[in-house]
Amino acid sequence: MKNTLFLIFLAFVLFLAIYFYWGQSQAESQLASANNKITSLEQQLQRYTRSSPPVQNPAPKDTSTAINPSTQEEDIVTPPPSTSFEDELGTLSAGDIQRLQRKGLKNPEADLMNDLMRRQKTILNATGSMGGTMAIRDIRILNDRYAMAYFEDGHNGGHMLLKYAVADDTITWTRLDSYKL
């Protein structure tokens, strides 16, 4: 009886070992596949950015001559680069960084975020609920004048639109708008 229980236990442990080894192999295979896909997409992106021609402003059209609409070519409307900000929201442009560095900030984005985090108690007008403490959780520096912050206490949250000014290494913050979610 003891040998039978021991053999059943040993078979069960062996089954578990094989099952977990198989699961690990599957996970490693999926990870390798995902890494290959990411590498492929990065290579495609590099080829695309190298091969895409620079965007030039079109010449102004002469509206004084009459154009037959049937022979007129379709104008291709290309949105300006500033409209594709979904992934870049909260990233300062090179010009913004230079302007803020001239005003005395060594690392503008980090300096602004750190200063806002230090002063958040004076800027936040919301109080926490159910024992929570309202605090800023995410900051997006939009440009050389404005920032957006997300705040919450673990139960409730909201967004703030802030304006800041930099003069002689001193940052002053003004809350323009705030709303709770």
* Paired residues of 170 in beta bridges: 167
CA 121 – CA 177 distance, rounded (Å): 16
- Please tell me whether the overall predicted TM-score, pTM, comes out greater than 0.85 for this model: no
Percent of the chain that is helix, strand, coil (3-state, to 5): 45, 20, 35
Which residue type occupies 7?
Answer: L
* Paired residues of 69 in beta bridges: none
What pLDDT does residue 18 have?
94
* Tally of CB atoms within 10 A around 78: 9
33 or 53: which leads in pLDDT: 33
What value does the CA radius of gyration of the chain take, rounded to a whole number of Å?
Answer: 29
Give the residue carrying structure tokens 């803020």.
Answer: 100
Q: Is the confidence at residue 54, as pLDDT, over 60?
A: no
What pLDDT does residue 15 have?
94
DSSP code at position 82: G
Mean pLDDT for the chain overall: 78
What pLDDT does residue 32 have?
86
**Which residues lie below 8 Å from residue 149, measured CB to CB, with a gap of 6+?**
116, 136, 138, 139, 140, 159, 160, 162
What share of the chain has pLDDT > 90, as a percent? 15
3-state secondary structure of 160: strand
pLDDT tier, 21 (very low <50, low <70, confident <90, very high otherwise)? very high
Q: Is the confidence at residue 61, as pLDDT, over 70?
A: no
CA 119 – CA 148 distance, rounded (Å): 15
Contact 147, 140 (CB under 8 A): yes
> What are the residue boundaries of the structural domains of the chain, listed by start?
1-54, 90-180
What pLDDT does residue 64 have?
46
- Write out pLDDT tens, residues 69-120: 444 445 555 555 544 444 555 678 888 888 888 888 888 888 898 999 998 8
What pLDDT does residue 51 have?
64
